[in-house]
Amino acid sequence: MRIASTEKTTHPVLIFWIIAGWVGYALLPWYGVEEFWTFDWLSDGWPSEADYAPALGLVLQGLKPWLLPMLPALAAPLLVVTRRKTDPLYARVLIASGAFGFAWLVAQGLGIGLRGFTADWLAAIFGQLDDRQFGMGYGAMITASAFLFLLTQGLAARGLVKGDVFVASAIGGVIAVVTIFVFFPIAKMLMAGFVSDEGGLSVGHFLNRFFDARIWGLGCLTGGTRCGVAWNSLFLAVLVGIITTALGLAFALVLTRSGFRYKRVLRAMTVLPIITPPFVIGLAIILLFGLSGTVTTTVAGVLGIEATRWVYGLPGILIAQVLAFTPIAFLVLIGVVEGVSPSMEEAAQTLRASRWQTFRTVSLPLMRPGLANAFLLGFIESMADFGNPLVLGGNYDVLSTEIFFAIVGAQYDQSRAAILAIVLLFFTLAAFYLQRFWLGRKSYTTVTGKGDAGVHPPMPRGLAIPVYLIVGGWTAFTAVVYGMILYGSVVELWGVRNNLTFKHYITAFRVSWGENGIRWTGSAWDSFWTTIMISTIAAPLTAAVGLITAYLLTRQDFAGKRSFEFGTMLSFAIPGTVIGVAYILAFNVPPIEITGTGLILVISFIFRNMPVGVRAGIASMSQLDKSLDESSLTLGANSWQTFRRVILPLLRPAILAALVYSFVRAMTAISAVIFLVSARYDMATSYIIGRVENNDYGLAIAYSTALIFVMLAAVGLLQLLVGRTRIGRRTAHSTTTGH
C-alpha cells in the first residue's frame, strides 16, 4: 500500500498548495485591507487600485517591482505536478521554488517598510527608494504559507523524516509560526537590554547592569535589609512549584485511588481557582488575612496580641499563588496518575509487595514525568505571575512586577526591563533543563495497546490519612475564599457597608428591550462579548498547535529537536508584560502590522498558552507505547491517520487540559493583554482592573463572579464535547456492579 501511494502521479496536497499560492498572489489583496470581511474592496477599484490590488495586479501596472521575483517561484511547481515523487526533479523543483519564494517574501517584507528601505546599507547598495509598503494582508499570508508547504513537500520527497509529508509540513509550519510569533518579538525586545544610555549597543553596559546588587544582592542573609529580586523570585517559585505539585498529586490520588464519594465536587473545587480573574483572590485574601482582615483580627483578639501586616510579602504571595496554580499541577497529574497501568501495580502486589511498597517503587516512579512537568509549570507560572505580587507583595519585590514597572513606571527603563527579563528567562530555562536531567532517558510507557485490564489499587493507609487531611483542609480553605468572593459581589461596599444588593450585577449586565430587540446597556457587555469571542477562537487553535508540537517532540526524530522544544517553551517562560511590549515593538510596523486588532490578542494567547498543551501532550504521550503507532503504520495508515485515529483519541485528557486551560487563560490573563487591548477590542480583565483602580470593588467582583460561572459552564461543555478516554479498564465501580 505504501509503495503504491508513492508511485501515484496525482498529488492532491501539492495541487492544493499551488492553487493557494496563485490565489494569494493573483486574486487576493496583497496588503492589509481594513475591514476585509465587508468585501467593500471588491467594488472599490479591485484589482487595479493600489491599496486593494493583488500582487500580480501591482506588478502588471509596474508598481512594487520587488514582488515580481515570486512569480517564477509560483510557476515552477506547475511543471512537476505530473511527475512521480521518486523523480529527483520533483523534489528539487519544489525545494528550490519553495525556499526561494519564502525567503524572498520575508526579505522584501523586512527590507522595505513604511519609509522605503529599512536599513542604511540597503539604501547604500540600491540607492534611495521612493516607494514604501504597508503591512502584509491575506494575499501575502496565503502565498507565504503556500511557499512554506511547497518547500516541506519537496523536502519530504527528498526523504526527510522518512518521506512523511504530514510530519515534514507540521514541523515546517510550527517552526515558522514559533519563529515569527515567539523568537522575532522576543529578540527585538531583548536587544533593548544592550542599548546603552547613549543609544548605541554595548556589552559592557549590559554586564554592568546585569550584575546589579538590586538583582543579585544577598543582604537578607547577612542581616541587611533585603535580598535581590532574583533570589526573591527564585525562592518563591521553588516553594510554589513544590507545594502545588504535592497538592496536585494529593488531589489526583484521591480522585483515582480512593473510594471517596464526592469526586465531582472535589474536581470542581480544584478547577475553581484556575477560572478566577486576577486580583480577586488577592482581594479576598486581604479581607481574610490583612491587617483588618477577619482571620487576623479574630486570632489577634483571641491571643491578645496586636494584629500585624504579616500577610504582605512572601506569605501572601505564596498563599495566593498556591491557590491559583494547584489546579494546573492537578490537571497535568490527573492524566498521568490515571495513565499508570494497573497491571504493573497488580503485578507488584502479586509478587507480595505491600501496598506501600507498590506505591513507592512502582506507581510513584511511573508518575515522574507528571511530577516533573507539574513542578515546572508551577515554577514558571510563579515566576511570571504578576497580579498576586502586585496586590500582596508588600516589600517583597519579584522579577515580574519589577519588569512591569521598569516599563510603565516613572523610570521608563526598557533596558532594565530587558535585563530583568533575561534573568527570569535564565531561571526558567535552568528549571527546564534540570527537569529533563531528572527524567533522564528512562521509559515511562505503560499504555501499550496489549491487554491492559485492571483496577488501580487504593492508596496505602499511611499515605491515605495525610492525603485526606491535606485535601480536606485545602478544599475547605478554597471554599471559604470563594464564599468571600461571592459575598463580596452582593454587598454594597465590601468591608464597609455590608448590606446586600444586586446593584453591581445590574450596572454591569443590564439588558433592556428597545425598538430593535435586545439592547445590551450594561457597562460590561462590550468587553464581555469581545472576551468570549477571542477566547473561543484562541482555545482550539492553542490546543491544536500544542498537541501537534507535542506529537513531533515525542514521536519524531529530526535535527534541531532540542532547540525546537526550547523555542516552544520560550513564550511561556517570559512574563506576559514583556511579551506585551515585545509584541507592540514587533507588530506595529510592516511586514506584520496587527496592533490594535483582535488578531494580535488571539495570537498572543495561542503562543502564551501553547506550552501547556505541549507539556500536557508530552506527559500523556510518553505513556503511550510506540508499538501502537508502529502497528497502525504497518497496517497501512499514514502518520496523519495514525495521529488522528490512534494517538488523538488516547490523548483526550491532554486535549481537554489544553482546551480548558487555553480558553480559561484567554479569559483571565492580564499581563500581556493590558498592552494589547484597544478601544475596539477591550478584554474583561483589563476592564476589571480599571474598576479596581477606581475603587469599584463591588462591580469588579460581580463581573469576576459572572465570568467564573460562564467559565464553569464552558468547562463543563468542553468536557462533554471531548469526552473521557476509555483506556479499556474496569473501574472499581463497574466491577462491583457487574457491568
Partner 1 sequence: MNGTRLTASALALATGLTATAAAADGRLSFYCSAQEEWCQIMARSFEEATGINVDMTRKSSGETFAQIQAEASNPKGDIWWGGTGDPHLQAAEEDLTEPYVSPMRDQLHDWAIKQAESAGDKTIGIYSGALGFGYNSDMLAKAGLPAPACWEDLAKPEYKGMVQMANPNSSGTAYTTLATMVQMMGEDGGFDFMKRLHGNINQYTKSGSAPIKAAGQGETLIGIVFMHDSVAQTVAGFPVVTVAPCEGTGYEIGSMSIIKGARNMDNAKKFYDWALSVEAQNLALQVNAFQVMSNKGAEVSDKAPDLSGLKLIDYDFKKYGSSDERKRLLAKWDTDVSTLPQ
Please give the residues from 360 up to 399 whose contact with partner 1 meets the rule CB under 8 A. Answer: 390, 393-395
Whether 76 and 49 have beta carbons less than 8 Å apart is answered as: no
Q: Which three cell numbers stand for residue 479?
A: 471554599
Q: Give the contacts of 252 (CB within 8 A, at least 6 positions apart).
A: 330, 333, 334, 336, 337, 338
State which of residues 3, 4, 10, 35 lies at the interface with partner 1 (CB under 8 A): 35
CA distance 530 to 264: 31
Using rule CB under 8 A, residue 191 touches partner 1? no
Using rule CB under 8 A, residue 691 touches partner 1? yes
Measured CA distances, 114 to 62, 109, 144, 586 (Å): 19, 10, 20, 14
Judged by beta carbon, residue 202 or residue 597, the one nearer partner 1 is 597
CA distance 169 to 117: 32
CA distance 2 to 556: 19
Judged by beta carbon, residue 11 or residue 355, the one nearer partner 1 is 11
Piece of the chain touching partner 1 by CB under 8 A; list 242-250, 406-414, 514-522, 730-738: 406-414
- Interface residues for partner 1 in 294-353 (CB under 8 A)? 309, 312
Judged by beta carbon, residue 185 or residue 369, the one nearer partner 1 is 185
Q: How far is the CB of 536 from partner 1 (least distance, A)?
A: 10
Using rule CB under 8 A, residue 49 touches partner 1? no
Judged by beta carbon, residue 149 or residue 474, the one nearer partner 1 is 149
Piece of the chain touching partner 1 by CB under 8 A; list 52-60, 235-243, 448-456, 531-539: 531-539
Judged by beta carbon, residue 97 or residue 400, the one nearer partner 1 is 400
Q: Give the contacts of 309 (CB within 8 A, at least 6 positions apart).
A: 290, 291, 394
Using rule CB under 8 A, residue 584 touches partner 1? yes
State which of residues 263, 497, 503, 733 lies at the interface with partner 1 (CB under 8 A): 497
> Which residues sit opposite 136 in a β-bridge?
31
CA distance 518 to 509: 12
Q: Which three cell numbers stand for residue 340?
A: 499508570
Whether 652 and 724 have beta carbons less than 8 Å apart is answered as: yes
Using rule CB under 8 A, residue 195 touches partner 1? no
Three-class SS state of 69: coil
State which of residues 63, 347, 585, 633 lies at the interface with partner 1 (CB under 8 A): 585
Using rule CB under 8 A, residue 678 touches partner 1? yes
Piece of the chain touching partner 1 by CB under 8 A; list 123-131, 368-376, 649-657, 693-701: 693-701
Using rule CB under 8 A, residue 674 touches partner 1? yes
CA distance 244 to 220: 26
Judged by beta carbon, residue 459 or residue 718, the one nearer partner 1 is 718
Whether 669 and 576 have beta carbons less than 8 Å apart is answered as: yes
Using DSSP bridges, classify how beta strands 112-113 and 491-493 pair: parallel, antiparallel or unpaired.
Answer: unpaired
- Interface residues for partner 1 in 552-581 (CB under 8 A)? 581
Q: How far is the CB of 407 from partner 1 (least distance, A)?
A: 5
Q: What are phi and psi of 723, to 5 degrees?
A: 80, 175
Measured CA distances, 648 to 297, 655, 722 (Å): 53, 8, 11
State which of residues 410, 500, 720, 721 lies at the interface with partner 1 (CB under 8 A): 410
Using rule CB under 8 A, residue 532 touches partner 1? no
Q: How far is the CB of 128 from partner 1 (least distance, A)?
A: 18
Using rule CB under 8 A, residue 27 touches partner 1? no
Using rule CB under 8 A, residue 594 touches partner 1? yes
Using rule CB under 8 A, residue 540 touches partner 1? yes
- Interface residues for partner 1 in 427-486 (CB under 8 A)? none
State which of residues 2, 162, 680, 726 lies at the interface with partner 1 (CB under 8 A): 680
Piece of the chain touching partner 1 by CB under 8 A; list 272-280, 457-465, 567-575, 596-604: 596-604
160 to 189: interface string for partner 1, x by CB under 8 A: -----xx--xx--x----------------
- Interface residues for partner 1 in 99-158 (CB under 8 A)? 114-115, 138, 141-142, 145, 149
Whether 464 and 458 have beta carbons less than 8 Å apart is answered as: yes
Strand blocks (E) in 432-505: 491-493, 497-500
Judged by beta carbon, residue 263 or residue 497, the one nearer partner 1 is 497
Judged by beta carbon, residue 411 or residue 731, the one nearer partner 1 is 411
State which of residues 7, 13, 79, 466 lies at the interface with partner 1 (CB under 8 A): 13
Name the burial class of residue 345, with classes exposed (0-12), middle (13-18) and buried (19+) by CB atoms within 10 angstroms of its CB. Answer: buried
Using rule CB under 8 A, residue 544 touches partner 1? yes
Q: How far is the CB of 449 from partner 1 (least distance, A)?
A: 23
> Which residues sit opposite 177 in a β-bridge?
none
Q: Which three cell numbers stand for residue 114?
A: 513604511
CA distance 258 to 595: 51
- Could you tell me the sign of the dihedral formed by the alpha carbons of 611, 281, 539, 661, in that order? positive
Using rule CB under 8 A, residue 628 touches partner 1? no
Using rule CB under 8 A, residue 401 touches partner 1? yes
Q: How far is the CB of 224 from partner 1 (least distance, A)?
A: 8
Using rule CB under 8 A, residue 597 touches partner 1? yes
Using rule CB under 8 A, residue 224 touches partner 1? yes
Using rule CB under 8 A, residue 725 touches partner 1? no
Piece of the chain touching partner 1 by CB under 8 A; list 83-91, 328-336, 490-498, 625-633: 490-498
Q: How far is the CB of 491 from partner 1 (least distance, A)?
A: 11
> Which residues sit opposite 344 in a β-bridge?
none
- Interface residues for partner 1 in 635-654 (CB under 8 A)? 640, 643
CA distance 174 to 564: 9
- Interface residues for partner 1 in 279-298 (CB under 8 A)? 286-287, 290-292
If DSSP states are collapsed to H, E and C, what string results for 224-247? Answer: CCCECHHHHHHHHHHHHHHHHHHH
Judged by beta carbon, residue 312 or residue 663, the one nearer partner 1 is 312
Q: What share of the chain is helix, strand, coil (3-state, %, to 5)?
A: 70, 5, 25
Using rule CB under 8 A, residue 16 touches partner 1? yes
Q: Cell 512586577: give the residue.
A: 401
CA distance 569 to 330: 20
**Rg of the chain in Å (alpha carbons):** 28
Q: What are phi and psi of 273, to 5 degrees?
A: -60, -30
Judged by beta carbon, residue 581 or residue 707, the one nearer partner 1 is 581
Piece of the chain touching partner 1 by CB under 8 A; list 29-37, 60-68, 428-436, 613-621: 29-37
